[in-house]
Amino acid sequence: MKSYIEQQKISDTLLKNYMPYAMSVIVSRAIPEIDGFKPSHRKLLYTMYQMRLLKGHRTKSANVVGTTMKLNPHGDAAIYETMVRLTRGYDALLHPYVDSKGNFGKHSSRDMAFAASRYTEVKLAGIAAELFKDIDKDSVDFVDNYDGQMKEPVLLPTTYPNLLVNANRGIAVGMASNIPSFNLKEVCETTMALMKDPKHVISDTLIAPDFSTGGELLYDRNELEEIYRTGRGGVRLRGKWGISKDGKRIEITEIPYTTTVEAIIDKTIDLVKSNKIKGVSDVRDEMDLKGLCIAIDLKRGANVEEIVQQLYRYTPLEDSFSCNFNLLINGKPRVMGVKEILTEWIQFRIGCMKRQLQFERGKKAEKLHLLQGLERILLDIDQAIRIIRETEVEAEVIPRLMQAFRIDELQANYVADIRLRQLNQEYLLNRTQEIFQLTEAIDEIDKTLKSERRLKTRITKELERVTKSYGSERRTTLVEKTKILEAKIEETISDYDVNVFVTEQGYVKKITPQSLRMASDQKLKEDDQIAQEFVTRNVNELLIFTNKTKVYKLRLHELADTKASAMGEYLPSLLEFDKGEFALYTILPGKYQGFMLFAYESGKIAKVPMESYQTVNNRRKLVKAYSDRTSLIWLQRVDEELDLVVYRDHGPEARAMVFNTSLVNPKMTRNTVGVQVLRINKGNKMTMVEKLEDSLLVGAEKFRKDRIPMAGESIKGKRRSAKQMMMF
């Protein structure tokens, strides 16, 4: 028997045999679509919706898995694993779709296995109602399931951009998708802003990804804007840690979304064994019902900061999330930027809403048509009754009504089916009044269908409702990358307590507490005195604001330890001030939280977040630290909102006003002129600002204002304190 071998080009073989499989994986399995779901997710959730699990009690997971097989031709294990990831218990999603009871494992644990489906219970979470809103009003297409016995939706008509709210990852053939989760409030706010202004800058409202496991994101706006524009890139994530109450161990309570507790523990143990990390005696997992916790026991004298920095550097406690915004649009994979995705979703939602409105219009038009037939009958109801009563054959009733009143068959059937008890004046009048209401409603729907502005207004209202109902604060906090760079440099710096003194004439000295206890008096230049004193650590820094609208950074470890008997170092020489430049105000920035307040003669006050003054590693000076367009009269660093008293002029026109700084909107731009707080007339100016708690203003509450700008209240003729009399 002869055998024949037919030669064939490998490209033809791949095209014929491999490409159908590859396209099937891409289109029908691994890449999410504009509603934010892969087919397996959509089939599972729709099955639960059909099982009426949106309300009421939970059911066994096994019931859901079995029923899902009618739409999803996979084994029960694959379907159950899909469900697990969507549950609240697993904690992989910012807004889980499935409300669960039982052990579903944890996204943050590699070894914690979920219980079998017969032991766990599920139902749809509240937010799932937004996925199916108006799905029964023809808002999306339906297709046959694999055996043609049921219908299933092609997409879900989700009322918010679900694709960006929950993380989604898929590996196809020759391509992949990895979309991070974003805060629901930020996503909805960005979508509304984009509908209002197509040129809206995405990064103004969509701050950064937000993950269910919390942690910290190393924030760099330029890098994020590039990711938003191209749909590709990466962000760095790191865990959060603290020290136990007894100070004997490090407790890690939040980890990056991309790693697990076991991975961090295993790597830490390896580093301790290889002596790369010193000062650690034990590492263990203390996760319980309260949440995640990795406990790292410390040896006596261990340098905590150094250990943490080594953990960030050598273990997955700091990890990266690679972004790849690849999704299916009309059955074709596309890598899209965030603005493209939201624009596509807006058009998708407009399409869903149009279909829903057309469905409602059809129902109303159908009812209107029947009532219009009834209206014609009412012109001579006695004749209609006579026709029905006198007709000998039942089949002739409808034709005779149609002929007598010139109505169609549907209308005639509707009239003929009215029960005798309903032939009263109240019933008939109510039905005819409904004609007017239906006509108005149809006209309103027609106007909405023709107006994209109206449709977007409806979408905006839905987004506002979703935000109010399901929005929550960010779980992942932001940390500027520059701050991280500085921390890595400072890990080799000796850390100990110091006292820092700054004098009015610009001298600074750093003294250890031990040396300060042994001292008698501070040595100062003639006519000089201590202006500010700080108790801090050697690794910290000072910010010095000067009269030339500049701010200088002084790292305390760069100052030599001195004694109270020394004069100290002269700031203008140390920091190389310009001619005529001198220090106005010195602060400890700490973690760069809170605000700087700047008050100007013009009556304006600027509130600038402290993070605006963070600098890169070697940068020592920032220009335009505040505005130079008008004279500065007061500046202050505040950690929380407080009440201020502002004064205008002296003498007869003297005025004062009390207000809370929460009325002043913060501005990221350092040299902003701020917002008008005190109204200033021509020839007047704001002369003084002080904290209300430090003020001697008599009857301060009479001067309080709940909005700005205001002119304040006159001080003339009012009872004054000694301080007021001195000032005015």
Residues with a catalytic annotation lie at 119
Q: What is the SS3 assignment for 686?
A: strand
Residues in the chain: 728
Residue 266 burial by Cβ neighbours in a 10 Å radius (0-12, 13-18, 19+): middle
Q: Would you say 655 and 647 are in contact if contact means Cβ atoms under 8 Å apart?
A: yes
For residue 428, what are its two tokens?
Answer: 């008939």
Apex 132 CA angle, 129 and 136, nearest 5: 130
Cα 37 to Cα 477: distance, rounded to the nearest angstrom? 27
Residue in 475, 481, 476, 179 with CA at minimum distance from that of residue 312: 481
Measured CA to CA, the distance from residue 259 to residue 596 in angstroms comes to 38
Rounded CA-CA distance 285/155 in Å is 41
State residue 294 phi and psi, 5-degree precision: -105, 115
Contact between residue 280 and residue 307 where contact means Cβ atoms under 8 Å apart: yes
For 379, phi and psi rounded to 5 degrees?
-65, -30
Cα–Cα distances (Å) from 542 to 339, 583, 588, 593, in that order, read 41, 12, 5, 14
- Which residues make beta-bridge pairs with 176? 171
Backbone conformation region of residue 296, classed left if phi is above 0, alpha if psi is from -120 to 50, else beta: beta
In this structure, are residues 102 and 87 in contact, taking their beta carbons and an 8 Å threshold?
no
Burial of residue 449 (CB within 10 Å: 0-12, 13-18, 19+) is middle
Closest CA to 225 of 343, 93, 323, 320: 323
**H or E element, residue 676:** strand 675-676
The conformation of residue 578, written as its DSSP 8-state character, comes to P
- Integer Cα distance of 323 and 609 in angstroms: 29
Q: E-strand spans in 266-386?
A: 280-285, 294-298, 318-324, 326-329, 332-335
Helices (H), 535-639: 571-574
Question: Are 669 and 596 within 8 A, CB to CB?
Answer: no
- List alpha helices for 231-337, DSSP H: 261-273, 304-314
Q: How far is CA 576 from the centre of its chain?
A: 43
Sequence letter at residue 327: L
CA-nearest of 296, 309, 248, 299 to 278 is 299
Half-sphere exposure of 724 (CA within 13 A, CB side): 22
CB 337 within 8 A of CB 325: yes
Q: In what order do the strands lie in the sheet with 232-238?
A: 168-171, 176-179, 318-324, 232-238, 216-219, 477-480
Q: Are 263 and 316 in contact, with CB atoms under 8 Å apart? A: yes
CA distance 95 to 21: 33
Alpha helices (H) along 543-693: 571-574
Count Cβ atoms within 10 A of the Cβ of residue 102 and give its class: 0-12 exposed, 13-18 middle, 19 or more buried.
Answer: middle
